[in-house]
Amino acid sequence: MIKKKYFKALVAFLFVCQSVFSQVDVVYNDLVWSDEFNIDGPLDANKWFHQTQIPAGGSWFNNEVQHYTNRLANSFVANGNLNIVARKETFTDQNVTKQYTSARLNSKFAFTYGRVDIRAKVPNAQGTWPALWLLGKNINEDGGFFDQNFGTTSWPACGELDIMEHGIFPNQPINYIGAAIHTPSSFGNTINKGGIQLNDINQNYHIYSMNWSPNQITFLLDGVAFYTYNPAVKNASTWPFDADQYFLFNIAMGGFAGTIPANFTQASMVIDYIRVYQNTAVDTIAPTNFTASIGTVTGTSVQLLMNAVDNSGTVSYTITYPGGTPVNSFYPSGLQNAVVIPSLIPNTNYTFTITATDLAGNVVSNSPIVLNATTTVNPQCGGFDTQAIEGTFNLGYNYTFETIGTDVKVTFTLLDPKVGLVAFLRRQNPFSETQMTNVSGQTFTQTITGQTIGSTITYAVKFAFAGGLAVTRFVSYVVGSNCTLGTIEPTNFTQICYPNPVDDILYLQLHDSQNKITLVDVIGKIHLSTTVQSEHTLSMGDFKPGVYFLRVENSLGSQNLKVVKK
């Protein structure tokens, strides 16, 4: 339990970390709403509402089996913590009898954009589904706090933001927590989700955070980002997140959380605090030190490098050019922003107009800056991609290969903002890694000497940074040629499973965000068939020792990986 007298120091520390790691596009500094749960007894009725009304049909959604109550037995404040308790007990309410009770809390506070920090211990008992999440204030859900006055929109059109969920990921081990986005474009088993493996969610506090701006939504664990949602097209289908959302805290029982053991008695979610930050002060100071230049140019793309400084911590850049759709980019103050304009015509001159403002709309004094660039004759002298074979990329990366005599100069630029960034050129066969030279900003280069004209080389780049790493796809290039750059070698593309041989947990690193996997034994018996994300874990502890084959099907085609169970 963090003592409340250290509150200001902790807030300062968290926001220093937030700025240092540059994991979010907007830094929110002003505390606008919180509950420290300092007064023992019932929850603060000015801040929280107990949602107890059963949906039509007499059962909660997702085949859950609990009653939600407003009793102190299921939700109370003690010793500076909110306790939400799921219990095994026979309970009758609204003429329906159930065998489990819990609590489902609605905040009476709703907001648009900001930073959320929730410090909590989370139950990991089988059959429990603890969640810290948000719904659109406009949701039409009978019994919800805002429904009577604002409920005009059905789910998922109202939007749902899941900061933390546990217990509903059957293909993941215990203590795996997930974050997810539900919109009309993807909901239910949504593709817009991320997760991270822990080992102590029930024993120790962790800080579950969400940073929500007009541009993107980033989920963080203990100050480190692990998933960002930023759809290229933002409309009612993909982005119902330009209106107020409110908080829900609950523990559901059964349903998607699986079978509840017969010996279950109770489980608690313990919440130390919830804090919401926004930027409330009126900003009248415009950005300064605005610069813009041309970066890497290929036959079909132009990279624009921009920088400016603003007291708000964030600069908004707008790029326009004839015949193109305006490009908007939010970026941390004082850091170089590299934006690639794709889908251009080879051997064509383009004029780019770049403006810089802060989030309040204050325009920098030397804005706009106008730049000219001519795309190269051959469109395959460089490329742009967002795919990764390890980790993930948000904005992506661009690359060029250039033959100089018998040497090949390889240049990669990471577009995602990172701090403490280093890059390693990874050769595919035989495998090796060499640290690259930083040219400027997030651009790195390495010259491969003594190559044979006409031979094919295949390389990727590993970007390592504070809080993690990400590896690009392998790119094949014919030395001395301007024609074959940018081709990926599917037959040589490495999809990884490790450790192998495996005793318990098998880790998978696959190509696509959605991959069909099938696990069979040597006689062809299917033990598992499902669809998983690029990073996944399989529990092999209960499998008999022997040889298995993991078939992976994705955009590369199909690949069989041999797995040895010890």
Whether the per-residue pLDDT at 24 is higher than 80: the answer is yes
Q: 492, 527, 544 — which closes off a domain?
A: 492
Residues 6+ apart with CB under 8 A from 418: 22, 442, 463, 465, 466
Residues 24 and 164 in one domain: yes
Residue 499, preceding bond cis, omega within 30 degrees?
Answer: yes
Residues 217 and 339 in one domain: no
Residues 6+ apart with CB under 8 A from 403: 451, 453, 479, 480, 481
Q: For residue 44, is it within any domain?
A: no
- To the query of whether residue 160 is one of the catalytic residues in this protein, the response is yes
pLDDT in tens, 373-426: 998 754 345 677 778 888 888 778 888 888 777 888 888 988 888 888 999 999
Q: For residue 178, is it within any domain?
A: yes
pLDDT band, very low/low/confident/very high, at 555 (cuts 50, 70, 90): low
Residues 515 and 534 in one domain: yes
Containing structural domain, residue 457: 382-492
Residues 234 and 304 in one domain: no
The per-residue pLDDT for 381 is 53
**Average of per-residue pLDDT across 167-177:** 94
| Cα Rg of the chain, angstroms | 26
Question: What is the DSSP code string of 190-229?
Answer: -SSEEEEE-S-TTTS-EEEEEEE-SS-EEEEETTEEEEEE
The per-residue pLDDT for 51 is 98
pLDDT band, very low/low/confident/very high, at 19 (cuts 50, 70, 90): very low
pLDDT in tens, 325-371: 888 888 888 989 888 887 777 778 999 999 999 988 899 999 999 99
Q: For residue 91, is it within any domain?
A: no
Number of alpha carbons in the 13 Å side-chain half-sphere of residue 193: 27
**CB count, 10 Å around CB of 392?**
18
Give the active site residue among 160, 402, 433, 489.
160
Torsion angle defined by CA atoms of residues 228, 229, 233 and 235, in that order, rounded to the nearest 10 degrees: -150
d(C-alpha 436, C-alpha 447), whole Å: 9
**CB count, 10 Å around CB of 499?**
12
What CATH number did the domain enclosing 182 receive?
2.60.120.200
Residues 476 and 526 in one domain: no
d(C-alpha 240, C-alpha 252), whole Å: 25
Residues 486 and 500 in one domain: no
Whether the per-residue pLDDT at 496 is higher than 80: the answer is no
Residues 21 and 124 in one domain: yes
Residues 416 and 458 in one domain: yes
Count of domains forming the chain: 4
pLDDT averaged over every residue in the chain:
86
Q: For residue 129, is it within any domain?
A: yes
**CB count, 10 Å around CB of 325?**
10
d(C-alpha 172, C-alpha 195), whole Å: 10
Residues 227 and 309 in one domain: no
Q: 348, 374, 400 — which closes off a domain?
A: 374
Q: For residue 65, is it within any domain?
A: no
Residues 29 and 141 in one domain: yes
Q: For residue 81, is it within any domain?
A: no
What CATH number did the domain enclosing 475 receive?
2.60.40.10
Whether the per-residue pLDDT at 469 is higher than 50: the answer is yes
DSSP 465: E
Residues 407 and 484 in one domain: yes
The per-residue pLDDT for 307 is 96
Q: For residue 82, is it within any domain?
A: no
Give the active site residue among 64, 141, 165, 390.
165
Backbone torsions φ then ψ of 489, nearest 5 degrees: -90, 95
d(C-alpha 214, C-alpha 217), whole Å: 8
Residues 204 and 259 in one domain: yes
Q: For residue 403, is it within any domain?
A: yes
